[in-house]
Amino acid sequence: MVTMEQLCEMECGALKRLLKDDGAKRLLLDCRSFLAFSAGHIRGAVNVRCNTIVRRRAKGSVSLDQILSGDDEVKSRLVSGLYSAVILYDERTPDAHMVKEDSTIALVLNALCRDPFRAEVYLLKGGYDRFCSQYPDYCLKSRTLPMPSAVSSAQASCTSCGTPQHDQGGPVEILPFLFLGSALHASKKDVLDGMGISALLNVSSNCPNHFEGAYQYKCIPVEDNHKEDISSWFIEAIEFIDSVKDSNGRVLVHCQAGISRSATICLAYLMKKKRVRLEEAFEFVKQRRSIISPNFSFMGQLLQFESQVLATSCSVEAASPSATLGPKSSSSPNSPYIFSFPVSVVPHGQPSSLSYLQSPITTSPSC
């Protein structure tokens, strides 16, 4: 058991040597947000699941099951004593004396204290900021995303070509095995082959599957309207994406425009597998495909799914999500995931913590 006073410190140079010489026997836990981790992290690091909802429901006390939710192999190796060192880091905490009691590092440390294992626990001095500045080759960074102004300029320059905005460019990478795009993107075999796509998840009832002999297909026949219960398909869609991932394949999720239905599925996948809030998942996807805009009903269903996913994170004995979601149906009025369309909407000029709900709803073409 390790207390805050007993937390050891590790210099960046020492971690660099560990990564080079002893990678299999150390566990590196990134205690930053999902968005920060996705933007860049130290090679081999695992992002802990400890967002604000998990903290609140856990009343400030989280467990290994919660912070390593979805990383069963890592958790098993840890409790089996297969790691000689566990290194924690955040953005830039300089030393152990500066760790705040309510910080993610403190919560993770407390979780580690409750389970007996033989690894020494360290704080990386200076965090990711210092390590990345000294050893950038040992860090993984996402590709630089264009700024919104640059995207707008590029889109404006293409208006004369007559290509709708949602069909411009190509599919975008959400995760190394997960891509998001439109029906036009799904109809271009050279694009699919160039990106290494092996499967397509068609989230529509009328978009054709152009190359059924060449790729694996799965269809989710939903319309982009406020009566559809798209949440009843979440688990099946997630399992399909995982099956493609487990076979070392890549899946393109698309609908007609890649704006509402397919974006909703990608958001649900991130929330379930990365244990992140809808707000984080939405920002993550929007950084990659700026035009996403799930309709209000889908956003409501995603908020319900967020509550379920994060509640499961706080109680690992909870029922399976597939059991509580119930069978698939097209527009089931009794489903708890149907979202009542709001009578009033927060004006755009008024500040709101749910700013991601204020994006415009695209009604034409079908999304």
Distances (CA, A) of 84 to 25, 121, 225: 6, 9, 53
Measured CA to CA, the distance from residue 219 to residue 179 in angstroms comes to 16
**Alpha carbon 216 to its chain's center:** 24
Structure tokens at 162: 């007559």
Assess contact for 194 and 246: CB atoms under 8 A. no
**Measured on CA atoms in the order 61, 78, 66, 300, is the torsion positive or negative?**
positive
Assess contact for 222 and 261: CB atoms under 8 A. yes
Look up 255 and say whether it is catalytic.
yes
Q: To which H or E segment does residue 325 belong? A: helix 321-325
Measured CA to CA, the distance from residue 35 to residue 121 in angstroms comes to 25
Structure tokens at 64: 């290994």
Among 12, 132, 255, 367, the one annotated catalytic:
255
Assess contact for 293 and 259: CB atoms under 8 A. yes
Measured CA to CA, the distance from residue 190 to residue 174 in angstroms comes to 20
User: Would you list the DSSP string of 216-251?
Assistant: EEEE----SSTT--GGGGHHHHHHHHHHHHHTT--E
Residue numbers annotated as active site? 255
